[in-house]
Amino acid sequence: MYDVLIVGGGPAGLSAAMLLGRCMRKVALFDSGEYRNSYSHAMNGFITRDGTPPQEFLRLGREDLEKYEVEFKHKRIVKLAKEGELFRACDEEDQVYLSRKVLLATGLKDRWPQLPGAEPFYGTSIHHCPYCDGFESRNKPLAAYGKNRDAIGLSLSLKTWSSDVMLFTDGTHRLTREDRELLGRNKVQINTAAIERLEGEEGHLQRIVLRNGHVEHRQALFFSTGSDQHSDLARQLQCDFTSKGVVRTYKHQQTNVPGLYVAGDAARDMQLVIVAAAEGTKAAVAINMELQKEFRL
Ligand SMILES: Cc1cc2nc3c(=O)[nH]c(=O)nc-3n(C[C@H](O)[C@H](O)[C@H](O)COP(=O)(O)OP(=O)(O)OC[C@H]3O[C@@H](n4cnc5c(N)ncnc54)[C@H](O)[C@@H]3O)c2cc1C
């Protein structure tokens, strides 16, 4: 029997595990090793760790855990249920683990744009988050890509980092007159032509070739194509979700299911490493306080 099972060993799960380890709780941390930013070469915007390769950051996180009694298990949890006051988790080999509390830190999966030729540019000059990679692309001709309405907001946001922004809707024509006026006032160029392929060299995007024969010279592309929950464990436990597809959390990362917490990208709030780590810590403190109360005489 564990005090806490943590599912997900990214920044949120690791940071929760450290705090719970420091509280001498019996913790098992499960990780299937599919980190959201594994495509990326540098993790930016984390004070003291700005520019660290994501894999190195995670390695340092696991190293920090070595002095605590946290069991790190390279396993995927496939089933999660609540039986009375306890949680019952099951891995892919049908091994069962029981715990008093569960923290889900399972993250999100991005829907990468399926553009011919894009693969070599992912993480180098194709990104999804301007806060993570906008600075490195500053003052360059930028492309905002997306077929949904979020792409409008993305293109306007990119104006913070470059005056030269072009919105590509890739053959879709959903922009209203108001959208066009808004983009026009903010000097965002609009390109609705379907994209044939992307071209460039050594990971650096240079050209967007359109099916109508035109070529646009762009040095970085930011996309808004949505994301999905990495695991369905929160759904198995009937958690509430927001309209954005993330778990609705309350004070200190609690969910509507007593004893179940969700931290990091899987929960609502900003999707940044430092926020995920902070949420993991908040959840860990709240979990420890709940356990303290339950064991108090
Ligand atoms: C390309 C890219 C670049 C980014 N760059 C930056 C950046 O520069 N700076 C920044 O602050 N943020 C950046 N981000 C965002 C950042 O990656 C996320 O905010 C952060 O990883 C969220 O941490 P997390 O712990 O919630 O989830 P994740 O890091 O996604 O970790 C979740 C973990 O849970 C595991 N898991 C999922 N389901 C299960 C299961 N059923 N059983 C066991 N394990 C499971 C996964 O394998 C994964 O290891 C970037 C994102 C992307 C996609």
Ligand 1: which residue has its CA nearest to atom 17? 37
Together in a domain, 195 and 233: no
Which of 196, 223, 250 marks a domain boundary? 223
Task: Write down the pLDDT at residue 35.
Answer: 85
Residues with CB under 6 A from ligand 1: 7-13, 30-37, 39-40, 43-46, 76-77, 105-107, 110, 123, 128-129, 132, 230-231, 233, 264-266, 271-274, 276
pLDDT for 38 equals 77
267 and 286 fall within a common domain: yes
Nearest CA to ligand 1 atom 20: 273
Ligand 1 atom index nearest CA of 36 = 30
Same domain, 201 and 259: no
Which of 208, 223, 238 is the C-terminal boundary of a domain? Answer: 223
Q: How far apart are CA 150 and CA 266, in angstroms?
A: 19
219: confidence class by pLDDT, cuts 50, 70, 90: very high
The CA 87 to ligand 1 mean position distance, Å, reads 24
Tally of structural domains, the chain: 2
pLDDT tens per residue, range 15-33: 999 999 999 999 999 999 9
Q: Are residues 142 and 234 in the same domain?
A: no
Domain range holding 64? 2-110+227-295
Among candidate residues 195, 223, 251, the one where a domain is terminated: 223
Ligand 1 test: best mutation among 29, 35, 36, most atoms within 8 Å of CB? 36
**Global confidence as pTM:** 0.95
Residues 101 and 237 both lie in one domain:
yes
Pair (97, 167) in one structural domain: no
pLDDT (tens digit per residue) in 246-293: 999 999 999 999 999 999 999 987 899 999 999 999 999 999 999 999
Claim to verify: residue 124 and residue 189 sit in the same structural domain: yes
pLDDT digits (tens, 9 = 90+) for 83-131: 999 999 999 999 999 999 999 999 999 888 889 999 999 989 999 899 9
